[in-house]
Amino acid sequence: MDVLGDILTAMRVGQPVAALTEVHSPWGLRFDHVMGAAFHVVLQGTCLLTPLSDGDFAPRELGPGDAVLLGRGAAHAMSSTQDVPLTAFTPVRGTAGAPFGRFELPGPGARSTIVCGAYKLVRSRPHPLLRDLPEVVHLSTLRGRNPGLRAMVELLDTELRDAPPGAAVVAPSLVDALLVYLLRAWLHESAATTSWAAALSDPPTARALAAMHAEPAEAWTVEQLAGLAGLSRAAFARRFTEVVGEPPLTYLTRWRMDTAARLLRGTDKTLAQVASAVGYGSAFAFAKAFRREFATTPGGYRTGAAQ
């Protein structure tokens, strides 16, 4: 089971947005807070990333090949230098068939080219992996680092810049995949310090997580999961709790409810079908558990998600 892909499927809402941005110094752009995660990939030039009202991170200098993911969607600015007046980032969808937007600012100085975008993610009840994301994930694709991410960036640059035939189909898929590559690179670089990075790289914990994600309706016990992990019950429970941040069955309940929320948002399954899919024997028992986790009924959640 691809646990990372499963988590992203449950947490994603709607389609990502992206724009090829070309600016000439002196320049400054203001990006409002987003309900999800924002990203930027610098293709050419240099710039300064700084927080605005709700941000809590140190300014970052970015250059060609740098990629940043603002995991909490904080309002921020990007500029050629400090103390430059800021212009609201308002891309326009270019010519017919262009898959995403474009944004340009003329000026007398050096040009910077950046892919700017955002992903809509569930923030009312974030998965622990998303909760672990720092304000800014700063990654480099130069000097042989993160080759998969580099290849993805090069492909996206071509599709957005040149808009070749089929770009309207290809580019959205590339932007979708970019989030996976950004998270892979972050997980790889932070495996020793971030709980969820450690969870996915620790074989016993990863095996238990894969089982719960593959079959959330299964009546898992700690003993069964410990057997899959190859550990004693006590050793597994201790290890899982230390690495993931919560006990195995607490996480299982969380994942069942996240899966149920995705089914309520994205399918027309009946309440009984959703209940069965996440391991509840009756719609009543499921509705009671769902309300305890989300402070609303499944029907109320579905109606709110559709609005």
Q: Where are the domains of the chain?
A: 3-191, 202-306
Cβ neighbours around 303 below 10 Å, total: 12
Q: Which residues contact 228 (CB under 8 A, 6 or more apart)?
A: 207, 208, 211
- Confirm if 44 and 111 have CB atoms less than 8 A apart: yes
Q: What span, in angstroms and rounded, lies between the C-alpha atoms of 136 and 60?
A: 9
Q: What span, in angstroms and rounded, lies between the C-alpha atoms of 261 and 257?
A: 6
Q: What span, in angstroms and rounded, lies between the C-alpha atoms of 58 and 78?
A: 13
Q: What span, in angstroms and rounded, lies between the C-alpha atoms of 205 and 195?
A: 11
pLDDT in tens, the chain (307 residues): 588 888 888 888 777 888 889 999 999 999 999 988 999 999 999 999 999 986 788 999 999 989 999 988 999 999 999 989 999 999 887 555 455 788 999 989 999 999 999 998 887 778 888 887 888 999 988 777 888 888 888 888 888 778 788 877 888 888 888 998 999 888 888 765 667 778 888 899 999 999 999 999 999 999 999 999 999 999 999 999 998 989 999 999 999 999 999 999 889 999 999 999 999 999 999 999 999 999 999 999 998 876 6
Q: In the numeric block, which tokens belong to residue 265? A: 């948002």
pTM here is 0.84
Q: Are strands 17-24 and 101-105 parallel, antiparallel or unpaired?
A: parallel
31: part of which helix (H) or strand (E)? strand 28-31
Q: What span, in angstroms and rounded, lies between the C-alpha atoms of 184 and 197?
A: 9
- Confirm if 139 and 67 have CB atoms less than 8 A apart: yes
Closest CA to 7 of 188, 128, 111: 128
Using CB atoms within 10 Å of the CB of residue 14, give its burial: 0 to 12 exposed, 13 to 18 middle, 19+ buried. Answer: exposed
Token pair 């499921």 in the structure block, residue? 286
Domain 3-191 matches domain 202-306 at the CATH topology level:
no
Closest CA to 266 of 10, 38, 29: 10
Query: Hey, what CATH class is 3-191 in?
Result: mainly beta
What are the backbone angles phi and psi of residue 235, rounded to the nearest 5°? -65, -40
Report the alpha-carbon angle 110-37-168, nearest 5: 70
- DSSP secondary structure letters along 55-110: --S--EEE-TTEEEEETT---EEEESSTTPPPEE---EE-STT-SSEEEEE--SS-
What are the backbone angles phi and psi of residue 232, rounded to the nearest 5°? -70, 165
CATH architecture of structural domain 202-306: Orthogonal Bundle (1.10)
- Confirm if 298 and 287 have CB atoms less than 8 A apart: yes
Q: In the numeric block, which tokens belong to residue 297? A: 């009924």
Q: For residue 162, give the 3-state DSSP assignment.
A: helix
